[in-house]
Structure 1
Amino acid sequence: MIWWALRSKLVPETYVEIVRDMYRNSDSIVRTAVGDTTPFPITVGVHQCSVLSPYLFSVILEELSASVQKLPQPWLLMYADDIALVDGDKGRLTRRVHVWREALENGG
């Protein structure tokens, strides 16, 4: 999803590949009071504590919501990692969610 969002924003492929390299073969550990866990692979999400992560997150969220932002609706609320679609008509809201889902499944 990260690569798709970056390419959708027309980020040069060189930069997309640099970010991909940063995420390739990533693993992490959890520090606890009784010791550290064994390393485990990270295959989803953005890296914690990376200065690039807020940018990547906002690019992904913007691209995911782009198709629904084009629809006329009474309210589209976006805050942090939440998107709320509000409409006075349940049927119309359901149709909009289906259109959004189809757009995402078809690559944007």
Structure 2
Amino acid sequence: MYWCLRKRGTEEKLVRLVEATYRNAATKAVTQQGDTDEFKITVGVHQGSALNPFLFINIMDTLLEDVRTAIPWELLFTHDVALISNREEELQQNIEIWQKCWTVTKKEEALLRRTEMRILRHILQISLKDKMRDEVIHSRYGITDIVEKVQEARLR
């Protein structure tokens, strides 16, 4: 996130200010079973922060600058993309470029799963010592595997 801000020319003073708001950030989850203990937030943006739209746009613009062509031919939303073209060949070419951007390797899938389970175990206060398999946690709490969600989103 900070790399994106710097690449976009944001003043270093402002980048450090954003960094300071994220340093040692912590929260707790409110569940039907009660509140969890406080835990550190090390990824993502603060929920409900007024900075979120700015940070999201900044990150998306920076990460996708090599893929995008020009407005209004591409419309980006939180989890949707609309591609528009006057020619079918150009549209097909743009679709192929975007599909390559969202290709997830087996290594990345494994990393997503590990991260998801680490967060879930922390929130649900389930230790590895409890010897509860990931599939059991997904089933018991009605949670869909994150890789399935990513694949589903790609097919839309």
> TM-score, normalised to structure 1's length?
0.69
* Greater RCO (CA < 8 Å, at least 6 residues apart): 1
- What is the CA distance between 1:17 and its match in structure 2? 0.3
Give the number of equivalent residue pairs.
93
C-alpha distance in structure 2 between counterparts of 1:88 and 1:61, whole Å: 22
Q: Structure 1 counterpart of 2:76, which letter?
A: M
> Partner of 2:76: helix, strand, or coil?
strand
Show structure 2 runs of 5+ residues with no match.
85-90, 102-156
Cα 1:64–1:17, aligned 2, differ >3 Å: closer, same or farther?
same
Q: Secondary structure at the match of 1:55?
A: helix
Partner of 2:78: 80
Distance 1:83 1:65, change over 3 A: farther
Residue matched to 1:104:
none
SS of equivalent to 2:19? helix
**1:1-108 alignment to 2 at 5 Å?**
2-70=1-69, 76-83=74-81, 87-88=91-92, 93=96, 97=100
- Identity between Structure 1 and Structure 2 (%): 37
Cα deviations across residues 8-62 of structure 1 (Å, max 9, x unaligned)? Answer: 1101000000100111111110112332101122111111011111110111011
- Alpha-carbon distance between aligned partners in 2 of 1:7 and 1:39, rounded to the nearest angstrom: 31
Quote the residue 1:101 is aligned against: none
Give me the CA root mean square deviation.
2.8
Call closer, same or farther: CA 1:56–1:89 in 2, change over 3 Å: closer
Tell me which protein shows more helix as a share of its residues: 2
